[in-house]
């Protein structure tokens, strides 16, 4: 039997486990990336683990999330990151250089390599053929120290692309179609491999839009083959020597195959409040729009901004709309400045935002009360924009540009009737390359580590107690995202200060949660969370586990838990548990006291866990999906004590 692309890469990187369905495998990681919002904690943990330098082929520390700098905290954190990078042999990408995923794609990602990033959109690099995965900062810290990164051996879904996109339809519409098919739940343990003749009609940045937003389906990662198109992109980036061909064998087998005929696709939109809530633009057109923002790691490439600039040439932003663009990187910004696209955007009335995450994570450009915001980003969770009452619609740059002109959600194909032709954007043969905003480890001498007053040490958990007993402090429904658990936006600046950040756990769900947890927490009394399907969707932020841990949460019992959050819970010694019978969820109320009297014996023996609901005088069982290694991690109280024990 032939091999698919993932198998080819895994075969070269597997250092623990076997390539068998549902088995846990440990992979050697070639490259890592961190961003500042998750990076400070990752490096604090790296320091705690006592490594003397990074052991990867390449590790990059990007500053792109917390660049708003209201108060001293962000800049202090950047200085900490810069000093850590210089000490441990990490490339430092200064604020202003761009969003980690866009910059990594341009300058460092390589076909056939493994990449682990402390950000859930790390699979963006799958567009160039890298096996790129998102993880919590602690997992990345371990990988930087040379340790394996563990995943479930993936069930690979092949997405066969046929034909060619019609004018006004682009890569975002493809991935929204994928989301419509796969939805955002039920895909844990899967990976998406793109293939078929339609692939060659997509450039690397377009492929990266698709692999980027694959994260929203919950798959481990997504990948494209590395072909002549990939080579062209690498030539344009001056990295042709790093190109290798990567393709599946003709007789490769897959868990499942999906076919998408590109020529049949229409402009798509993800409606509030979930990226899986996909509709055709035609079905929602006419909704009045208050804000349009183009950017984020999904759609901020030279191609994306150039097409918007062409569409808007000679037009002015509709008077009801505030319009912003955030170029994905300094390279993109310089290129649109040179090509004249920036001028057309400025003339159209666009507000030029920093080359950073900004609006996407809700730390700037928040929409007004009850506003409709049309964005080219990848997440539209409730409150994500910084405004709880806002409605976020996720669309392609083409749809966004059309709506800038009309002031309402508009199918871009309708622009033809206004005399606007679909602009053809050709990528230049050579991109503008300027690496001067990176600080390479070879430059200058090692710095002393700088720690501002906002940086507190990384808290540790204690080994798993033999009995878990405590109150259900919160019962939530389905699709609770890490944005619900641990809001970002204005709270982002506390990422390196866990006691402070913990004050905001579940802020938009039940703001009394932290206070109640701290009041209840005792050595032998624990806090428990009960949840529905796909708990922990979305970001890789380990604070969604770390801060609940700080508040004394010892177990999450859910109908299902998403991959990265499951790993983060484990890493911080919180038991990720799943109902055996989903009906038992209905029998629990917030405030009930639950007891798991034999937790350690049951875990060790691989048995289901017995839970007594002392309030309701009921008993039920729950299950877990934990390898022997993961059980050891949880018994030790998390990955930090587990790894420290082994060094
Ligand atoms: C996001 O898009 O939600 C973030 C902000 O980039 C997160 C990381 C974080 O919370 O710092 C992610 O995607 O992992
Ligand atoms: Fe930044 Fe948004 Fe991309 Fe997250 S999704 S990395 S916040 S641009």
Distance 631 CA to ligand 2 centre (A): 32
- Whether 125 contacts 246, CB under 8 Å: no
Give tens-digit pLDDT for 571-617. Answer: 999 999 999 999 999 999 999 999 999 999 999 999 999 999 999 99
Is the minimum distance from the CB of 65 to ligand 1 under 6 angstroms? yes
Distance 14 CA to ligand 1 centre (A): 27
Judged by its nearest atom, the ligand closest to the C-alpha of residue 328 is 2
CA distance 276 to 175: 10
- Whether 553 contacts 574, CB under 8 Å: yes
Distance 71 CA to ligand 1 centre (A): 21
Residue 87 scores a pLDDT above 90? yes
User: Hey, whose CA ends up nearest to atom 4 of ligand 1?
Assistant: 539
CA of 296, closest atom in ligand 2: 8
Token digits of residue 597? 């009297």
Question: Starting at the edge strand that comes first in sequence, how are the strands of the sheet with 24-27 ordered?
Answer: 14-16, 24-27, 149-152
Which of 559, 548, 508, 596 has the alpha carbon at shortest distance from 188?
559
- Fold entry, domain 268-414: Aconitase; domain 3 (3.30.499)
DSSP 8-state symbol, 129? T
Architecture of domain 5-264: 2-Layer Sandwich (3.30)
Distance 612 CA to ligand 2 centre (A): 41
Give tens-digit pLDDT for 355-375. Answer: 999 999 999 999 999 999 999
Query: pLDDT at position 222, please?
Result: 98
Query: pLDDT at position 460, please?
Result: 86
DSSP assignments along 418-444, one per residue: GTPPPPP-PPPSS-----TTEE-TTSS
Distance 122 CA to ligand 2 centre (A): 10
Give tens-digit pLDDT for 277-295. Answer: 999 999 999 999 999 999 9
Q: How many CB atoms lie within 10 A of CB 424?
A: 8
Residue 22: band (very low, low, confident or very high) from pLDDT cuts 50, 70, 90: confident
Token digits of residue 559? 């109908």
Q: Kindly report the three-state secondary structure assignment for every residue of 596-644.
A: ECCHHHHHHHCCCEEEEECCCCEEEEEECCCCHHHHHHHHHCCHHHHHH
Is the minimum distance from the CB of 177 to ligand 1 under 6 angstroms? no
Residue 62: band (very low, low, confident or very high) from pLDDT cuts 50, 70, 90: very high
Token digits of residue 165? 């996109």
Is the minimum distance from the CB of 361 to ligand 1 under 6 angstroms? yes
Distance 336 CA to ligand 1 centre (A): 26
- Whether 275 contacts 479, CB under 8 Å: no
CA distance 434 to 413: 37
- Whether 277 contacts 387, CB under 8 Å: no
User: Hey, whose CA ends up nearest to atom 3 of ligand 2?
Assistant: 297
Q: How many CB atoms lie within 10 A of CB 385?
A: 29
Residue position matching structure tokens 């801060």: 547
Topology agreement, domain 268-414 and domain 468-640 = no
Query: pLDDT at position 167, please?
Result: 98
User: Hey, whose CA ends up nearest to atom 5 of ligand 1?
Assistant: 361
What percent of the chain is modeled with pLDDT above 90? 95
CA distance 643 to 640: 5
Q: How many CB atoms lie within 10 A of CB 573?
A: 25
b/e burial code for range 37-75 (CB count within 10 A of at least 16 → b): bbbbbbbbbbbbbebeebbbebbbbbbbbbbbeeeebbe
CA distance 314 to 287: 24
Give tens-digit pLDDT for 390-434. Answer: 999 999 999 999 999 999 999 999 999 999 999 999 899 999 999
Query: pLDDT at position 458, please?
Result: 81
Mean pLDDT of 496-513: 96
- Whether 114 contacts 27, CB under 8 Å: yes
Ramachandran class of 252: left when φ > 0, alpha when ψ lies in -120 to 50, beta otherwise: beta
CA distance 65 to 496: 13
Instruction: Give, for ligand 2, the residue of 38, 93, 214, 360 to mutate: max count of ligand atoms closer than 8 Å to Cβ.
Output: 360
Which residues are 408's β-sheet partners? 288
Helix, strand, or coil (residue 552): coil
CA distance 49 to 32: 17
Distance 74 CA to ligand 2 centre (A): 17
Which of 354, 397, 384, 374 has the alpha carbon at shortest distance from 539?
384
Give tens-digit pLDDT for 214-245. Answer: 999 999 999 999 999 999 999 999 999 999 99
Distance 274 CA to ligand 2 centre (A): 16
Token digits of residue 93? 């990408």
- Whether 328 contacts 301, CB under 8 Å: yes
CA of 300, closest atom in ligand 2: 8
CA of 428: how far to CAs of 162, 166, 303, 331, 519, in Å? 26, 22, 10, 13, 60
Which residues are 328's β-sheet partners? none
Give tens-digit pLDDT for 169-218. Answer: 999 999 999 999 999 999 999 999 999 999 999 999 999 999 999 999 99
- What's the CA angle centered on 86, arms 81 and 91, to 5 degrees? 80
Is the minimum distance from the CB of 541 to ligand 1 under 6 angstroms? yes
Is the minimum distance from the CB of 215 to ligand 1 under 6 angstroms? no
Residue 550 scores a pLDDT above 90? yes
The predicted model scores a pTM of: 0.97
CA distance 485 to 548: 9
Token digits of residue 586? 């209905």
Token digits of residue 345? 């955007």
Distance 348 CA to ligand 2 centre (A): 25
CA distance 375 to 352: 15
User: Hey, whose CA ends up nearest to atom 2 of ligand 1?
Assistant: 539
Helix, strand, or coil (residue 251): coil
- Going from N- to C-terminal start, the domains of the chain cover 5-264, 268-414, 468-640
Residue 446: band (very low, low, confident or very high) from pLDDT cuts 50, 70, 90: confident
Distance 267 CA to ligand 1 centre (A): 26
Residue 383: band (very low, low, confident or very high) from pLDDT cuts 50, 70, 90: very high
Nearest 10 degrees: CA dihedral of 100, 137, 8, 537? -90
> Which residues' Cβ are closer than 6 Å to ligand 2?
65, 99, 119, 121, 296-297, 357, 360-361, 377-378
SS3 content of the chain, % helix, strand, coil (to 5): 35, 20, 45
Query: pLDDT at position 459, please?
Result: 86
- Fold entry, domain 468-640: Aconitase; domain 4 (3.20.19)
CA of 315: how far to CAs of 119, 167, 291, 334, 372, in Å? 37, 20, 17, 23, 21
Entry field: residues in the chain: 647
Query: pLDDT at position 445, please?
Result: 77
Mean pLDDT of the chain: 96
- Whether 276 contacts 216, CB under 8 Å: yes
CA distance 80 to 155: 39
CA of 540, closest atom in ligand 1: 14
Give tens-digit pLDDT for 90-126. Answer: 999 999 999 999 999 999 999 999 999 999 999 999 9
Q: What radius of gyration do the chain's Cα atoms show?
A: 24
CA of 504: how far to CAs of 471, 495, 519, in Å? 20, 11, 15
């Amino acid at each position: 039997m032939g091999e698919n692309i993932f198998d080819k890469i895994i075969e070269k990187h597997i250092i623990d486990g076997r390539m068998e369905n549902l088995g846990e495998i440990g992979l050697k990681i070639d490259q890592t990336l961190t961003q500042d919002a998750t990076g400070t904690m990752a490096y604090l943990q790296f320091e705690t683990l006592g490594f003397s330098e990074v052991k990867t082929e390449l590790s990059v520390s990007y500053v792109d999330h917390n660049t708003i700098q209201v108060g001293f905290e962000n800049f202090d954190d950047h200085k900490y990151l810069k000093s850590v990078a210089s000490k441990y042999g990490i490339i430092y990408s200064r604020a202003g250089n761009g969003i980690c995923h866009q910059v990594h794609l341009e300058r460092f990602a390589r076909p056939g390599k493994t990449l682990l990033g402390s950000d859930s959109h790390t699979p963006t690099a799958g567009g160039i053929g890298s096996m790129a995965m998102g993880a919590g900062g602690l997992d990345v810290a371990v990988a930087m120290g040379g340790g394996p990164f563990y995943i479930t051996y993936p069930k690979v879904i092949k997405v066969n692309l046929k034909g060619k996109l019609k004018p006004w339809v682009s890569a975002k519409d493809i991935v929204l179609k994928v989301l419509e098919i796969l939805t955002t739940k039920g895909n844990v343990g899967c990976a998406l491999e793109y293939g078929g003749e339609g692939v060659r009609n997509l450039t690397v940045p377009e492929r990266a839009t698709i692999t980027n937003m694959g994260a929203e389906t919950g798959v481990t990662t997504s990948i494209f083959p590395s072909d002549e198109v990939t080579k062209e992109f690498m030539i344009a980036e001056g990295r042709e020597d790093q190109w290798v061909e990567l393709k599946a064998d003709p007789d490769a087998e897959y868990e499942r195959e999906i076919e998408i005929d590109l020529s049949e696709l229409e402009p798509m939109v993800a409606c509030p409040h979930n990226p899986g809530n996909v509709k055709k633009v035609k079905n929602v057109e006419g909704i009045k729009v208050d804000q349009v923002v183009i950017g984020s790691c999904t759609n901020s490439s030279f191609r994306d901004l150039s097409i918007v600039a062409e569409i808007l040439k000679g037009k002015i932003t509709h008077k009801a709309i505030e319009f912003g663009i955030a170029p994905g990187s300094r390279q993109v910004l310089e290129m649109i400045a040179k090509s004249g696209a920036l001028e057309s955007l400025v003339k159209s009335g666009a507000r030029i935002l920093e080359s950073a995450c900004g609006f996407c994570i809700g730390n700037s450009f928040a929409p007004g009360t009850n506003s409709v915001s049309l964005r080219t980003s990848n997440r539209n969770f409730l409150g994500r924009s910084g405004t709880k009452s806002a409605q976020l619609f996720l669309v392609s740059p083409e749809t966004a540009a059309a709506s800038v002109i009309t002031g309402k959600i508009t199918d871009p194909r309708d622009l033809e009737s206004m005399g606007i032709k679909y602009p053809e954007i050709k990528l230049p043969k050579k991109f503008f390359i300027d690496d001067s905003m990176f600080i390479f480890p070879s430059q200058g001498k090692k710095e002393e580590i700088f720690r501002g007053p906002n940086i507190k040490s990384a808290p540790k958990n204690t080994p798993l107690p033999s009995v878990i007993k405590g109150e259900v402090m919160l019962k939530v429904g389905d699709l609770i995202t890490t944005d619900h658990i641990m809001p970002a936006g204005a709270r982002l600046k506390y990422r390196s200060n866990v006691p402070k950040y913990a004050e905001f756990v579940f802020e938009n769900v039940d703001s009394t949660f932290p206070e109640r947890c701290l009041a209840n927490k005792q050595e032998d009394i624990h806090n428990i969370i009960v949840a529905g399907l796909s708990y922990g969707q979305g970001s890789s932020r380990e604070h969604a586990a770390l801060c609940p841990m700080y508040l004394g949460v010892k177990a999450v019992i859910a109908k299902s838990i998403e991959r990265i959050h499951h790993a983060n819970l484990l890493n911080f010694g919180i038991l990720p548990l799943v109902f055996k019978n989903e009906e038992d969820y209905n029998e629990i109320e917030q405030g009930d006291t639950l007891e798991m009297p034999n937790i350690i014996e049951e875990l060790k023996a691989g048995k289901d866990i017995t839970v007594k609901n002392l309030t309701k005088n009921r008993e039920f069982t729950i299950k877990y999906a934990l390898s022997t290694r993961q059980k050891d991690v949880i018994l030790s109280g998390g990955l930090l004590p587990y790894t420290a024990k082994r060094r």
